[in-house]
Structure 1
Amino acid sequence: MYSKKRIVLKVGSSVLTDSGSIAKERMLNLVSLIVKLRDKYEVILVTSAAVSAGYTALKLDKKEHIGKKVLAAVGQPILMSAYKRKFDIYNLDISQILLTEDDFDSRKRTEIFRQIINTSLEEGILPIVNENDISSTPDQLFGDNDQLAARVAHHIKSDLLVILSDVDGYYDSNPNENHDAKIRKIVNNITEEELQAVHSPNDEFASGGIVTKLIAADYLMSKGRQMFLCSGFDLTAAYEYLMNNNHTKGTLFKPKDK
């Protein structure tokens, strides 16, 4: 159906912000990667960091429900302006799409955002998706963008979800506690025990941790789709895998071949 394979890139708050401000160099590296990937793929970006971007301008408690909404309201234009300045270097236009869990529960609403993404891609525009923290109620939110990215990847028939994270893969044990921990390069099955483990985000503005990534991977594998988890700080592994089909680092979650 598509002339190019379609991929979704998801980038987290810990990658996009540093010491209370937008990590400009890391964002530029991400933008440069996306520009290169667009020669080979249709690319959709799912981004976090609206709340943490808001905190750069306004020191509110993000744990308070209304505080988080205000931070998101302040931070969303800051985040998108930062992206726009970087993509303008490459003369690449962007679109902003804000979604909640409800958008995936209604066939009509799902079809609307699917058409917006498809048309943006057809017109050479990069769709940038984020969760709509501002106008939604708590029960309308995913709570972390790993789940949002997985749903987007499935509903727009993406060939692959790539999560650019503060970890460089899924290890066989906790690398912070075990120096001999090794990356599991390919995972075909995730146990219930792994899915029920304690969430442990490494950044105060991150809403997930490795478990939310496992839940996203499990969802996609159940739909016959794949997910690649790798570092967002050093994009070499992502570039090598996506552009050269060279699996150097990172973890590929893929369903078992039938």
Structure 2
Amino acid sequence: MRVVVKVGSAVLTQDGEIALERMRALVDFLAQLNKKNEVILVSSGAVAGGYTKLKLDRNIIANKQALAAIGQPVLMNKYAKKFIKHDMIVAQVLVTAANLNSQDDIKRVRATVETLLENKVLPIVNENDATATDELELGDNDQLSAYIAKGTDADMLIILSDIDAYYDSDPRENPDAKALKIVKKIDEKELNKEVSPNNVFATGGIVTKLKAADYLLKSNIDMFLASGFDLSDVKSFMLEGTHKGGTLFTCKGK
């Protein structure tokens, strides 16, 4: 099975720094997942990585792009060091949303990813924030990962986030909100709600995740949303075949 795993900035950063323990836990999980699956990682965190080196005002797009340029090698260096402990080689694949709107570009991205996977190299896809503004302004990283999943013929997208599941109402406002384990259709009203990021480095929220899921459902690709802070739900689901927590978006008969 080919799996795309997307991890958000809220998971990878804490108090203006890269959250190294969470990154280590993520890498350990991906190494386990990689034993029986082809794994592609889509990682946020470049802007946050840059901010650890240079404190610029993140509200200015040009500053965010500069921070991303500083942060990309910081992020990749940390990933490479952690994956090498599992005897795994990683490679960076930089894309923009514009790349994934072009069939020629999609073919080139797919060919690169295929070659890396064939040679047992784990591709780490980063949104090229140093030159693109759409992702920085609109918070399209979740949807970008959905485009990658479809463009690389993946069977599933896993989004690891500060949001541990899709609830029947906002759990921050309703203590009785219930997590939905399986979702087969997303209401149009939910897709049109205002984006509400929870973290200073995050640009998305539940809405961008629902849009990603809706896009994949229409292409018959599953999506699993779970916590990136506590990986027990995604480990249970992907490594043990037990759905304890998190939300599976699927149009299949599961």
TM-score, scaled to structure 1: 0.95
Q: Residue deviations 1:67-109, cap 9 Å, x none?
A: 0110001111111111111111112100000101221222221
The letter for the 2-side match of 1:108 is D
Rounded Cα–Cα distance in structure 2 between residues aligned with 1:102 and 1:208:
19
Q: Does 1:130 align with 2:126?
A: yes
Rounded Cα–Cα distance in structure 2 between residues aligned with 1:140 and 1:219:
20
2:193 aligns with: 197
Q: Residue deviations 1:173-219, cap 9 Å, x none?
A: 11111111110001111111100112111101101000000000000
What is the aligned length? 253
TM-score, scaled to structure 2: 0.96
2:4 aligns with: 8
Q: Does 1:65 align with 2:64?
A: no
1:167 aligns with: 163
Regions of 4+ moved over 3 Å:
137-143
Rounded Cα–Cα distance in structure 2 between residues aligned with 1:106 and 1:117:
16
* 1:217 corresponds to which of 199, 210, 213: 213
Report % sequence identity. 50
* 1:87 corresponds to which of 83, 87, 96: 83
Unaligned runs of 5+ in 1: none
Q: Does 1:246 align with 2:253?
A: no
Rounded Cα–Cα distance in structure 1 between residues aligned with 2:147 and 2:82:
27
RMSD, aligned α-carbons: 1.5
**Displacement of 1:40:** 1.4
Sort the Cα spacing of 1:11 and 1:98 in 2 relative to 1 into closer, same or farther, 3 A: same
Rounded Cα–Cα distance in structure 1 between residues aligned with 2:131 and 2:9:
20
**Displacement of 1:138:** 4.1
Q: Residue deviations 1:45-74, cap 9 Å, x none?
A: 000000011111111112212101100011
Rounded Cα–Cα distance in structure 2 between residues aligned with 1:82 and 1:43:
18
Unaligned runs of 5+ in 2: none
